Amino acid sequence: MTRDLFGSCPTPQQHWIAVASADHVARGREQGFMQVCHGKAAPLRRIRAGDGIVYYAPVQRFGGHDCGQSFVAIGNAADDLVYQTDMGGGFLPWRRGVMWLASQPAAIRPLLDRLEFTRGQKSWGYAFRFGLLQVSAHDMGLIVEAMHVGAADLFSPGAGRAKTVR
């Protein structure tokens, strides 16, 4: 693991943005998991324990047309386990545990010219089309700041593990 901008706290090795409606993300926060790409396992297997995860919600409700366009949750992958669950009706999505952090939603529009993956991009939303994208430490830092996640909230003292909010 590398060191972060705050000095001595270890930072995640990789940084990811997952995409889902805000209502689906809220369910994952409450239950301590993440799910991407309609429950596919392969994207989740790219993530490692300790990696930083932030959720971008283009809409508030699944299937809705209300404009969300905000980062709505942030945390760290809890471990390397990708597991399947039965939601009923034959739907068996894959998930992984996340230790969610206390945060506030942050609109993406004020960050568009500062984020490396959107800067200068007319069709900036295109980057989210696959449901999970890896981003730079610089971009994750901007999002952390915009979501008002302080250095003290990123890691629990001495353990180097993220605090969980459920």
**Model confidence pLDDT, tens digit, residues 50-79:** 999 999 999 887 666 677 799 999 999 999
**In the chain, what is the straight-line distance between the N-terminal and C-terminal CA atoms, in Å?**
26
Task: Report, as an integer, the average pLDDT of 11-22.
Answer: 88
What is the per-residue pLDDT for 99? Answer: 96
Give the per-residue pLDDT at 162: 39
Residue 39: pLDDT above 50?
A: yes
Q: Distance between CA 14 and CA 4 in Å, rounded? A: 12
pLDDT value for 100: 96
pLDDT band at 28 (very low <50, low <70, confident <90, very high): very high
Place of tokens 């900036």: 124
Is residue 152 classed exposed, middle or buried when 0-12, 13-18 and 19+ CB atoms within 10 A define those classes?
Answer: exposed
Given the structure tokens 């007319």, which residue do they identify? 122
> How far is the C-alpha of 166 from the C-alpha of 28, rounded, in Å?
9
Q: Provide the token pair at 134.
A: 């890896």
Q: What is the pLDDT of residue 139?
A: 96
In this prediction, residues 87-101 reach a mean pLDDT of: 96
Token digits for 3? 């060191």
Half-sphere exposure of 95 (CA within 13 A, CB side): 18
Q: Let me know: does 148 contact 73? Beta carbons within 8 Å.
A: no
What global pTM score does this model have?
0.82
| Mean pLDDT in residue range 125-150 | 93
Beta bridge partners of residue 56, listed in sequence order: 19, 71
Q: Does domain 14-151 have CATH number 3.10.590.10?
A: yes
pLDDT at 138 > cutoff 50: yes
